[in-house]
Amino acid sequence: MSFRTFPHDPVDSFPPQLGLIVLQSDETIEQDFRRLFGPDVDLQFSRIRSGADVTPETLAAMEGDLGTSAELLCPWTRFGAVGYGCTSGTAQIGRARVAELISGSATTGAVTEPVSALLAACAALGIERIAFLSPYLAEVSDRICAVLADGGVETPLFGSFNVSTEARVARISPTSIIAAAEQLVEPGGVDALFLSCTNLRALGIIDDLETRLNMPVLSSNLVLAWHMSQLAGAPLANGTPGRLAQV
């Protein structure tokens, strides 16, 4: 028996489609994105090989696999936006190169990553100076700060947990993040706090931190989801934390 004559839904009847390339070592961003986008948005995930040790060399090496990871997203899906879920990897590879590799391998209206997303979020909120809290060693984080400076965002306050292995990042407790953030911003002179790294468990404490610090608090996953939402016209879920979600 054949059912070929049964009607099919047109492609444009689907909800907004978003793609995300996730590091092999990331344990956090997929869960965060499912919280940040509700049932009215379809998410597709692909993984990319990433080193257990976080160094400029292992981050830069992802350039060779980025196009292949984008190809592993469903090839006939027309994405509103595809994101690359790595802040430090973007800084090493370069924003333009990330966009080139992904757009050449997936059908998408836009490409973004946490660095471009952070710059866009800062522009939307009128932020020029941020306190930058990173899990990584200075040789990794310094590159991100330099790229942000090129984009017009200064990082006069910098703090790090000095973690060199990816397996430890998701195990930095939210309590530790809050304590470090409060100490970091104490000197003042900044417009916002940025919690770097898509593997950092920061999303659930953003509202609390904004109340404690009386300033916008941004994280890699929050700014990336917000920017993809803006680019693709895909709504963020109700209850998305932070002042950025109101922009």
Three-state DSSP at 164 gives: coil
Return d(Cα 235, Cα 226) in angstroms, integer: 9
At 28-70, the pLDDT tens digits run 999 999 999 988 899 999 999 998 899 999 999 999 999 999 9
On whether the CB atoms of residues 54 and 79 are closer than 8 A, the answer is: no
Q: What is the mean pLDDT of residues 5-12?
A: 67
What is the residue-wise DSSP string for 83-101? EEE-HHHHHHH-HHHHHHH
Q: How far apart (Å, rounded) are the C-alpha atoms in residues 46 and 26? A: 12
Tokens of 141: 């984080």
The tens digit of pLDDT for each residue in 156-204 reads 999 999 998 999 999 999 999 999 999 999 999 999 999 999 999 999 9
pLDDT tens, position by position, 86-138? 999 999 999 999 999 999 999 999 999 999 999 999 999 999 999 999 999 98
Three-state DSSP class for residue 119: helix
Angle between helices 174-185 and 206-213 (to 10 degrees): 30
- pTM assigned to the model: 0.95
Q: Say whether 45 sits in a helix, a strand or coil.
A: strand
Helix axes 114-125, 220-232, angle to 10 degrees: 80
Q: Which two tokens stand for residue 32?
A: 């965060």
